[in-house]
Chain A
């Protein structure tokens, strides 16, 4: 953040137009429906990545109008934080084209990517909110990501227990979990021989608990990141803005986490894309975020890898790439679990769609985050390798490949029937944190199948 805006944001949260939250939801829902019609934005399932630049521009323009008209809702004051268009444009102009993640030899540069950009995306890897077992298993799980050569950043698993206690939000154990999650992430990157690797979050819920992770010696450093969430859709609170206040003074990267729900208040993929672009812009203005996690999930299946989901995220990526310097990171949430070919296919599809749309990537989540220890480094390797292999690919070519990959898993996306696979402990050698031959073999097989489709991963 080049200039300090939080006083102004707070002032507007205290003085903006008052309305009950339900009224805000209805207002947003109705306005989004109108904007989709007015701009004639249409989802085409045959094109998981829209190839029309003007649609991307329309989505961006509609999103800007939405934000200007509805504002960013503060749940604490029940008021909308309103902006002038000129103010937003001024702030957007100040965004950098690249940022550095991590430190020392392990630092990576994350670029503002463009549509069909030949530069490979950066991956923020990790269990992304999937429940993990505490202690050594957690360290080894994160290490399984960190020691993958292609992975640039790790973080963000959730613990069910700490020292045997079930973690309840807002209890001392949640604060302890934040501290230990940071220490264990630091331990994992050290074990992987990459001590300066960017750690992108500790997945506890209370914003105030996240502060316990900030510790230059054993926890998160200014070269790392912390996620500040938005609430669904286009909402924040003083709790979240207060977290921003301290993170800025610490100097750490802020990740703007948005969890747009496809099928929720924003409606279908067209409306969801508009709302999510507006959420990105709000994250720049109010959170001063370095990067923005587009963690879109389907209202029923809790994944973002179906056709409407891929269309929506790649539309968000394209709208931002063509019209701003807002770095969007696609958080790839999958329906299948580790040890399943379909998970790797979902990750490949997500990587391709996001990459050609000008996004960076994050992942992978699996099984809707419902199952403990269903997260391994190998699916993140697929996400990154597919995204990197798709860098520079044309959108039409990407669609040809996607139309071959998606049928390999789209009948398995019902979250209650999707193949759940196995746990990290079952699929990995715990001493070395490397995949066992069973899981590695499936990975190689999927890679060959992708090659047979004409998609070569080097």
Chain B
């Protein structure tokens, strides 16, 4: 199997949610002397990217995404330690994410967290109905790059405004990229409260996060 074929097979295994195959191919790539970081980026990430695109167009549904994420996780457990040994592992951007105060609907947040994790972010998922100061506390503790808040309820949206206000009040607004999303949240509203990013769906949220990170790096 050529290197290109191996990457393609890795991507396919992730897409199919076949964790056994993804692990087997990961080991095979190490045995073949392939750079683990390259196997992650050219194989696993490409498979996950296809998953995100297809989920966004509803060609596949959440169970397929969850299984793909599991396969990705299993393969990373093989490749990442080796990449680390070779000093090839890149520093992951850190995301603190939660469904905000007052809301216990978490499926949207869970999907975003899953896709972010699968796209190489280090995700701290605080769960649901999380007070804004808890989000900030965790972000400070882990030196996060992102604070992401989600809600399905219009009555929890004001807490997103409060989050940004509290960051400003504490003089740490500029330390974080703040993203908001969820059922009633619109792009316009997100901009109006001073959030840095918003995604129509989980796939876009990941793309926006990557884009914001690049722009921050360029500054």
Contact = CB atoms under 8 A, between A and B. Distances in A.
B52 to A, nearest CB: 13
Contact of B62 (A30, A168, A169, A267): A267
A169 B155 contact: yes
B41 interface: no
A30 B154 CA distance: 32
Interface stretch (B100-108, B164-172, B209-217): B100-108
B155 to A, nearest CB: 4
A118 interface: no
B201 interface: yes
B184 A168 contact: no
Interface string B173-200: 0000000000110100000000000001
A168 B155 CA distance: 5
Given A29-B66, A75-B104, A168-B159, A131 B154 contact: yes
B107 A300 contact: no
Nearest to B102: A169
Interface string B57-68: 010011110100
A450 interface: no
A369 B153 CA distance: 10
Interface stretch (A192-200, A258-266, A283-291, A403-411): A258-266
B183 A368 contact: yes
B93 interface: no
B61 A268 contact: yes
Interface in A344-398: 368-370
Given A131-B154, A166-B158, A232 B58 contact: no
A111 interface: no
A9 to B, nearest CB: 19
Interface in A216-244: 231-232, 237
Nearest to A129: B154
A33 B155 contact: no
A305 interface: no
A264 B62 contact: yes
A174 interface: yes
B217 to A, nearest CB: 28
Nearest to B108: A299
Contacts of A1: none
B2 to A, nearest CB: 34
A167 interface: yes
Interface residues of B, number: 24
Contact of B200 (A30, A160, A170, A416): A416
A300 B153 contact: no
A205 B184 contact: no
Contacts of A266: 63
B107 A265 contact: yes
Label chain B's interface by main secondary structure.
loop
Nearest to A414: B200
Contact of A302 (B103, B105, B183): B183
A271 B62 CA distance: 12
A298 to B, nearest CB: 7
A298 B62 CA distance: 12
A26 interface: yes
B182 to A, nearest CB: 10
A236 to B, nearest CB: 11
Nearest to A158: B154
B58 A265 contact: no
B77 to A, nearest CB: 18
Given A169-B101, A205-B153, A300-B56, A369 B184 contact: yes
Contacts of B64: 267
Contacts of A29: 62-63, 66
B61 A299 contact: yes
Nearest to A232: B107
B194 to A, nearest CB: 16
Contacts of A427: none
A176 B163 CA distance: 24
Contact of A33 (B63, B184, B186): B63
B56 to A, nearest CB: 7
Given A205-B153, A370-B184, A416-B200, A265 B104 contact: no
A26 B66 contact: yes
B17 to A, nearest CB: 11
A232 B104 CA distance: 10
Contacts of B56: 300
A370 B159 CA distance: 17
A32 B183 CA distance: 25
B58 A298 contact: yes
B62 A370 contact: no
B36 to A, nearest CB: 28
Contacts of B104: 75, 231, 237
Contacts of A262: 61
Contacts of B155: 158, 167-169, 174, 204-205
A264 B156 CA distance: 22
Contacts of B200: 416
15 contacts: A30-B63, A32-B63, A33-B63, A131-B184, A166-B158, A168-B155, A169-B102, A169-B103, A169-B156, A262-B61, A263-B58, A263-B61, A264-B62, A266-B63, A370-B186
Given A169-B102, A299-B61, 20 more contacts: A26-B66, A29-B62, A33-B63, A75-B104, A167-B154, A167-B155, A168-B102, A168-B156, A169-B101, A169-B155, A170-B101, A204-B155, A205-B102, A231-B105, A263-B61, A263-B62, A267-B63, A267-B64, A300-B201, A370-B184
- Ranked 4 nearest A-B pairs via Cβ: A169-B102, A169-B155, A263-B61, A166-B158
